[in-house]
Amino acid sequence: MIKTLYKKFPFFFNMLGVLVFLIITRTLDSFAWVPPAPGKTKTILVNYLFEFISVLPFIFILINCFNWTLKRKRIFLLWSVIFGFALTVPTLVLFLSSWLAIALGFKVQNPLSFDLIEKYTPGVSLMVFFLSATYFLTYLVLQAARQKETAHKTETLSKDIHLKMLRYQINPHFLFNVLNSIYALIDENTEKAKKLVLEMSEYYRYTLTKQQQTISIEKEVESITKYLEIQKMRFEEEFQYEIVLDEAVKNIMIPSFVIHLLIENAVKYGKKTEDQRLVIRLLVKLLNKTLSISVLNTGKLVNPARVNAANSDGTGNGLENIKYRLGLFYNDDYSFSLTEENGWVIAAIEINNINTR
């Protein structure tokens, strides 16, 4: 309840807090320098209670006046309002507190006079300056928070747009190849062509209905398995795959389709550089909060410039796509490498301090 009210009226509550602090300070100061007298404590407490009550309305007036001047963006007008209040509020507060004392039946110790106003003005004027400073500090904090929120929303929207664009680049290349395979199989093996159509339909139904930016590794691997099964059906004995998945990594959330992109590149470039049977391996492990994802394929490492360039079929897939998506989610807290070793091309991703929940 209080938190909700504070969010709704931050200027008032901050200025109220400062006012309470200033009244307490002035009260303690009076106890220190006012000479001992009968009823001293009661007089001081009553006087500053009435002062507190008298200043309260001016908090609302200050807030509305400052809001009005800020909308007009005139510095001279703003300073005029501040100094105008600093000069007039002390007299008005003194008048209101005296009136309250009389109205409630308390004896006024010091009747209104120019001497009293002269002595009273510096302290209350200083109070006005403190309240004004509190308003503007609150204003700056709220402005910074709004700018941060706006920047965050803009960044999130930008990420969402980029991720969707990058994700939709995955499907055309695969679709074109499968359609070509189906076309070739229609006359040669009608039953296999029908089965391939059904497999492809199931795969696209699965992938195109998943709109999340992140996905569990288990679900990502399920999608990859469907993809690899279709490739197995296309290439038969010339294609083989193996997936090794640690139990501990299954529920870890990662950017959707990142592993899929590695698998797709492994199939595409592996087939181009491997004359014999293409073998694909996917290894996903977790060690000391470091997630390790490795995609291996038989064949040779293609020139990185060629790998990163836009494909001739216009899909634009590449390793830069993968690194860009990882950078959006993990900033610099990840590494990516592409190497060739003993007849295997190895694409490896390591993500540090991974959230395992």
**Domain locations in the chain as residue ranges:** 2-159, 169-351
What does DSSP say about strands 344-351 and 334-341: parallel, antiparallel, or unpaired? antiparallel
Q: How far is CA 78 from CA 18, 74, 141, 299, in A?
A: 21, 6, 19, 73
162 or 77, higher pLDDT: 77
Domain 169-351 has CATH 3.30.565.10: yes
Give the pLDDT band (50/70/90) at residue 35.
Answer: confident
Query: Nearest CA to 272 among 305, 306, 237?
Result: 306
Q: How many Å apart are CA 135 and CA 128, to the nearest integer?
A: 11
Give pTM, 2 decimals. 0.51
Q: What is the pLDDT of residue 281?
A: 96
DSSP string spanning 11-31? HHHHHHHHHHHHHHHHHHHHH
Are the C-beta atoms of residues 316 and 256 closer than 8 Å to each other?
A: no
Question: What are the pLDDT digits (tens) for 201-237?
Answer: 777 776 666 556 788 999 889 888 888 988 888 888 8
Q: What is the pLDDT of residue 20?
A: 92
What average pLDDT is seen over the chain? 81
Question: What are the pLDDT digits (tens) for 318-338?
Answer: 677 788 778 878 888 899 999
